[in-house]
Structures are given as structure tokens and as C-alpha cells.
Structure 1
Amino acid sequence: MSLSSSSKSSNLADRMKVLLSTGDGADIHFLVGENDGKKLFRAHKHILKLVSNVFEAMFRYDDQNGKNEAHSAEQSKAVEIPDVEPQAFKVMLSFSYADDLSELSGDNAMAVLCAGENFGRETKGNEVAPPATGHSQAVLLNNQTLYISGQTGIAAGSTNVVPGGARAEAKQAMTNIGEILTYAGSSFKHVINCNIMVADMSDFQAVNETIKNFFTEDTYPARSFFQVVKLPKSAYVMIDVVAIVQGQS
């Protein structure tokens, strides 16, 4: 008897994407969002337990209390998550299953970050960059993706932006980012996205030239550059980045 070749992809990541998309064998449902924007997601407990301490604790509690005995995911009440945007939750699931960030964008990055805050992330910070007030210097999602909070031209040990205008502030902000990258085990060559906010768009050239000096031509990240009404401490520049930590080349 001959065996025909399988039509399934030989790539594990592709198979995991299909598993998430079809929900085949799913044993947990999530109802994410609020009001008319709610969306139902089907997932697999064993996979989520591997990537999130929060999910691991949640499912262990359910198991210990016998909530899952003789119940399929279709019969069980969905876990409601009203404080997370459905698209952000979808991106988080895609990354958890298949390291897939194809739907991550500047529009949803902060929402994805907030989802990571809720479902098991590690914060990163050091004493070389200015301490964060009311938030983390950076958040490491799934031990792979580093989201660094907006950095201004404030040097460690100071409470004011450096003198010299937008160019000097951009250099200091990037220096702060470099320190956080190093502390987290990454570097500028692993930065994949950079958002630049300025108080005056006429500073575009000076700021852009300064930031480019921290990268090589073959490692330029995706970038957004926009003017805002006002920045903290009346700064001229604020910069945030996303970088890869695990699997560096």
C-alpha cells in the first residue's frame, strides 16, 4: 500500500497558524471586547499555558476546581475579556502560536502592549536610562519582543532635558534607548520599528540625521515621524521603539 504525500505544510509555524485559524480541537473560548465590538476566539489551553504564566494559573485553578470535567469548549461559558481590543488579542494569539507579528502595526502596537500587560509579560528597566514614572521603561512580551517606552532627551540622574535643542535631545533619547536595549539583551540592529514624535516638524532633518547614526543602512527599522502638540517637560523630541530579543543573529 502506498502512502500519498500530505497536503499539510511541513512548516510548524504554518501548521500552528492553521490550528489557530480553524480552532480545531479548541478547549477554551474567549469573548473579547465590549458591546457590539465583541469577538469570539477559540484557542488551546496547553499552548497558552506554555507562553503565559497568567493563563497557566487561570487554567490550573479551573482544573483544580473541576470546572472542565466533561465539558467541551462549545458547552463551556466563554472567558470574557472586555478590557482588551479584539485585534490586539488576535495579534497576541498569533504571536503565541506561531511567532507571527504580521498584523502588528503602529495603529495597534499600544493595544497589543496592553494585552501583553494583562497576560504575562516581563518588564525591563535599568538605572542607566531615566526611570519611568507611572509605567515601565520597557516591556518584554513572550521573552522575544521588547517594547521600549517613549524616551526624551533626559539623561539618567537628571530631571530636565539636555540643552542644545532637538538634535541634542534626539541623541540623548537614542542613547537612553541603547542602554535599555543592551540591558534587555538586544541592540539597535534588532530594532524593527521606531516612532518619532517632535514638537516642531521643522526639526525633521536634524532629528532624522541624528537617529540614522545609530543604525546601519541594512538595519533601518520601519519608522513613523509625526508632530505632536506638546511633549513632557516641554521636550522637542520623544522616541519609542520595538525590538527583537530572542533569536538574535
Structure 2
Amino acid sequence: MKQITVGVDASSESRAAVRWAGAEATRRQQPLHLVHLWLTHGRTAQAIPHEEALLRAAQRLLQEAEADVRARFPGVRVTSELVTADSPDALVTTGGDPAHNDLLVLGSQGLGAVPGYLLGSVGLHTVAHAGCPVALVRGAEDPARLGDGPGPVAIGVSTRPGHEPVLEFAFSTAARYGTPLLAVHAASRHPALIGRDELEHHAAADHDAEQFHETLRPWRDRFPAVHVVEHLSHGSPARAVLDVAPGAGLLVVGRGHHAALGPRIGPVAHAAIHHALCPVVTVPHG
């Protein structure tokens, strides 16, 4: 059976992520694996004498997180691991391997002193390179709600081929949660129609709406119990997902792979993980 892995550190965002992951493991009936990444690269000579104390603190952190999960979610099988490495790739290897993990969960820093800042370099690297979906949970998440029924699942929908993993994750999650699915798609800008008459613009909008509906149709058929609300936006794709995020309990977006540049966080995923207040899941796709 695959597991859910959650990254653990000393932040309030990490505590919220651990509790969110525990609730998710309960819903999925999957084991939960807690990981603390012990980065050795870049340690200064002054820090070396304190290594033993830092190591004990890291071990204690994992023990406390594991005890919290066991107390809150007694039905979840939980394990923990201290991973020593000299690069953040270790978190990708441990928690982002789709052969063993269905989901990797990380805490995300809320908007604060640095406007728009959400994740550190380790988190951003992990989101860009993980082979499985990555959930990012804000520290502002109310722990009292984590075990209760979540709000609707929202998804930014692309009508291009290759986005099936994103749709499958969103529909299956909405079915498991028993909540509606808020599907949003940004209409094409149609620059060739600038200056044309209103009738042509309406025809283009109708074409976008039809494509959007047809993209969702096989997934509606596969998940008939999921109530789908379609929203065709005329803003940018990034603006479209941010507009539906405030009413959602979870926002699902795609994270693509550029033929020349490799894995990358595109503008939609970038906007979602930096500005949406609800938990955000980025799903890798072709």
C-alpha cells in the first residue's frame, strides 16, 4: 500500500501540515510517514559543536509530531524518519517518489513580512521536482477543523491534452470528501478577434464553454456522485484559480514539465501556492 509522507520542521505551518496529513490519511485509510530533512550542506564551523544538541532536537521534533498524530488519529499507522542529506533532493527522493507515495504534504509560510513569500528553497524545489502530488498547508489552518468535513474542492482546468492526472486527483478527492467540485477554466483571449464584431466574440466564448464542458464530461460520467459547478473565467488562468480559492477547502492545480527546461512551476501553480489561503495541491502532469 502506498503512503502519505509529510515534511516535519519546527514551524506552525508544519504542525498544521502534519494534522492535515493525518486527517487525509484517515480518509484514504493509508499509512502516514513523517520525515525531517537534516541538511548538512553549508554548516559553519561554529555550528559543529552544537550538532549533537541539534540532532537531539530534530529527533524530539519527530517524536512529538508522531505522538500528536497517534493521539488525534488513532486509526492511522504512522512511522517517522530522520533523513540526513546535503541537498533538498533527498526530500524529493523520500517523499516525492510516486512508486511509494500517493501524496507529499508540506507546511507553507503564510503571507507576512515578505509580501507574496510562501515557501523556502527546499519547498519550492520539492514542488517542482516531486513525482507525486504535493499538498501545501497554511499555518493559519484551524486544527479543530482538520478532522471535520472539508469545504468544496476547486480545480483549475486546462482543456489541453495531458491534464488528466490533475482532473483525476480533483474528482477522486471530491468524491472521497463528499463535496462539490468547483471547476474553473480561463477562456482564450482570442487576439485575432480584437476589433471584430460582438457576434464573433460570443461565438468564441461559446466554443470555449463547449470545450470546457466536454473536457469535464468523461469525469462526470466516471464520478456521477460528484456535483460539478463550472465557471468560465475571462481573466488570466492565474487570476481564475485565485478567484475560486476563497470558497474552497482545497485547491488543485497542475504542475507541468517543459520539454527543454524540465519540471517547472508555471504561473498558475505559482500564483496558487503563493496566494491561496486554503490548502493547495500541485499535481504533476505531462
TM-score by length of 2: 0.29
Per residue, is there more helix in 1 or in 2?
Answer: 2
Higher relative contact order (CA 8 A, sep 6+): 2
- Between structure 1 and structure 2, the one with the greater Rg is 1
